[in-house]
Amino acid sequence: MSRIRRRAAGASGLASAPPGAAGPAGRFETLDGMRGLAAIAVALFHFDKWLVPHGYLAVDFFFALSGFVLVKAYRERFAAGLGMREFMIRRVVRLYPVFLCGLVLSSAWIAVKVLAGSGGTDAVRDLLGPLPFNLLMLPSPLNRELFPLNGPAWSLFFEIAANVFLAVALAYRRRRWWALLAAAAGVLLIVAALAFDAPPDRTSPEFVPQPLSEGWSWPGFHIGLLRTAYSFTLGMVLAEMLRRRPRPTSGWAVPLWLALGATLAIGVAPVHDFAFTALTILAVMPAFVAAGSRIEPPPALRPVARWAGDMSFALYAVHAPIAQSLALATARLDWPLWLGALLYLAVALMVATLVTELVDKPLRAFVARRRRGPLSLEG
């Protein structure tokens, strides 16, 4: 560890974002708004896939954004001697409590179904089997899904793995290899996806599975790993490329938000879907991160953007059980899809905001005091 610290002390980088380079407390507020919009897209996708057909691509945006933001937040801290152990403690403390909130809600939903007699012994097995592994933020070896209790958590597992890579990369200053690693991961991702035989979607047989949406199951584990490696590493490259350029104020934030929403919501004919998805992962999502880092939202929209960024992680972590329960209620009560979706989104946003205000923010403030470093830029 001492050798890593000595190497890190010689690394170069900016002490902080340059004046005017970001919003209050070093925030990228346009990216905050995009993060919140992407989380809403994922939440709607898991309620009904046809509402946001490409909502799963938000995960690739998150990975690219995380690589970008974490390099901005930690480049100089590693240069000042921050060690890998301290960095990983910060990241686990940042991610695990909100992840645990989602796991508790999902487990409670399964327990309610068991008590109601829905699923019988299979439901009990589905709850107790993966629970010890998922509690440790590890994928379950007993199930086809990595995180059967809370499906979206698969990307948080890969996020932790990417953070380990980031710590090594910043500590050992091998920045010239980042772009090469991203390019290799991108090529391997397309090759692996072309060779992947995706099983049909049992919950929605008419929905054609996209190999590039994989990562949540063991058969597609390698695709999830490559999606993470490509987008996260390219986000790191973007952080290095854009580190010394001024970031002008612009009125382009709202069109950028709309463009991201349209990209996730657009429907594409199956014959063109693979090409669309590949292009979006390889080029469009990194471009959104780069563009969002260069502009600021109008002053009137900055509070909304900050709120969206703050609650986005909690929404991603807790929405799955809410989606399942409200989707079931919508079907049984024969509500129009739009009504069920609006009710679901209202409940999910309320729960996410509560988790953010009662769990996430207090813990971030506590860690910032105890570990002597702000957490304002962390994804």
Residue 173 has pLDDT above 80, yes or no: no
Closest CA to 295 of 15, 69, 21, 14: 21
Cα distances from 306 to residues 31, 82, 93, 127, in angstroms, run: 9, 28, 21, 36
With bands split at pLDDT 50, 70 and 90, how would you rate the model's confidence at 12?
A: very low
Residue 152 has pLDDT above 90, yes or no: yes
Please tell me the predicted confidence (pLDDT) of residue 176: 81
Quick check: 26 and 101 in contact, CB under 8 A? no
What angle do the packed helices 120-128 and 84-115 form, to 10 degrees? 170
Q: Show me where the domains of the chain are located.
A: 2-9+25-371
Reported as a single tens digit per residue, the pLDDT across 209-261 is 789 999 999 999 999 999 999 999 999 999 999 876 556 666 789 999 999 99
Please tell me the predicted confidence (pLDDT) of residue 123: 67
Mean pLDDT, range 68-81, rounded to an integer: 90
Cα distances from 256 to residues 291, 301, 320, in angstroms, run: 8, 13, 27
Instruction: With H, G, I as helix, E, B as strand and everything else as coil, classify residue 194.
Output: helix
pTM value is 0.89
Q: What DSSP string describes 135-182?
A: HTT---TTSSBSSTTSGGGHHHHHHHHHHHHHHHHHHHT-GGGHHHHH
Mean pLDDT, range 153-163, rounded to an integer: 96
Q: Which residues contact 247 (CB under 8 A, 6 or more apart)?
A: 18, 20, 21, 22, 293, 294, 295, 296
Please tell me the predicted confidence (pLDDT) of residue 131: 92
Please tell me the predicted confidence (pLDDT) of residue 133: 95
Picking from 158-172, 207-221, 268-282, 318-332, which range would have the lowest pLDDT averaged per residue?
207-221
